[in-house]
Amino acid sequence: MPEGPSLIIFKEELQQFVGKTVTSASGSIKSFDISMLEDKKLKRLKTWGKHLLCDFGDFTMRIHFLMFGVYYINSSKDKPVRLYLEFDDGSYVNFYSTAHKLLEGTIEEVYDWKTDVMSEEWDEKTVAKKIKSMSDRPVCDVLLDQDVFTGVGNIIKNEVLFLTKIHPLTQIGDLPPKKRKELIETAVSYTYDFLDWKREGTLRSHWQAHRQKTCPRDHIPFHKDYLGENKRQSFWCEECQKRYE
């Protein structure tokens, strides 16, 4: 389900549990002992890209929603529960199809928010510098690299490449400096647009390339293929998206 902006919304919706203490915890998680969460107070929630970080003081639980992750607040659905948490005021939350991991120590040591597109600490220079050492990687891969564009997912990738008129297989090193800057800035601005549209419930109607059949600029058919390291679905227009070489 989620790319970075959705995690911001998740964090807001789950904020009601911050400051409350877990009275009961169960589920099908195998990566750690769920009973560790009992009697622990949820101190704060943070996000790093697509990671939801639940700070319990001594440790942090990282939740990843993968493709189909979802949660239900004060309600359930008829599927196996990955994690059920009940709090001291009787409220509860169920997580389904999520991946959980326990992180010891402080999360500040583990995560760098300078690359997190949705973070206040996001820093263009840091990203520009990282990209410099990746000259032979195609842009479609670099945009999905969570250590470079933390929080960007496949939809954002397709839309950003369309907006910047860059062919997905263009290598980073072949982009003129001005274009490279535009790529970075558009990744951020589009991600904020994504968040606004997600809140409005109008995200899909704003897709110009992702899952589209025809280029809205010149009305010729989009190309669709599975590109890059992870063979992710790419939609692009051979006419208006330039392949720099």
Partner DNA sequence: TGGAATGTTGGAAC
Partner DNA sequence: CGTTCCAACATTCC
**What residue ranges bind DNA (CB under 7 A)?**
1-3, 6, 28, 31, 49-50, 64, 66-68, 70, 77, 79-80, 82, 96-97, 99, 101, 144, 146, 153-155, 210-211, 226, 230, 232-233
3-state secondary structure 69-85: CEEEECCCCCCCCCEEE
Lookup: tokens for 19: 């400051």
- Using the minimum distance from each CB to DNA, give the nearer residue, 39 or 200: 200
- Using the minimum distance from each CB to DNA, give the nearer residue, 2 or 138: 2
- Using the minimum distance from each CB to DNA, give the nearer residue, 46 or 50: 50
- Using the minimum distance from each CB to DNA, give the nearer residue, 78 or 176: 78
**In sequence order, what are the residues at sequence separation of 6 or more whose Cβ sits closer than 8 angstroms to the Cβ of residue 44?**
18, 55
Q: What are phi and psi of 122, to 5 degrees?
A: -55, 135
Give the whole-angstrom CA distance, residue 160 versus residue 45: 28
Identify whether the C-beta of residue 150 lies closer than 8 Å to the C-beta of residue 115. Answer: yes
Tell me the closest approach of the beta carbon of residue 32 to DNA, in angstroms: 11
Tell me the closest approach of the beta carbon of residue 177 to DNA, in angstroms: 27
- Using the minimum distance from each CB to DNA, give the nearer residue, 88 or 135: 135
Task: Look at residues 124, 135, 227 and name the one whose alpha carbon lies nearest to residue 172.
Answer: 135
Tell me the closest approach of the beta carbon of residue 33 to DNA, in angstroms: 15
Lookup: tokens for 47: 């996000």
Cross-strand bridge partners of residue 95:
71, 83
Tell me the closest approach of the beta carbon of residue 233 to DNA, in angstroms: 4
Tell me the closest approach of the beta carbon of residue 182 to DNA, in angstroms: 22
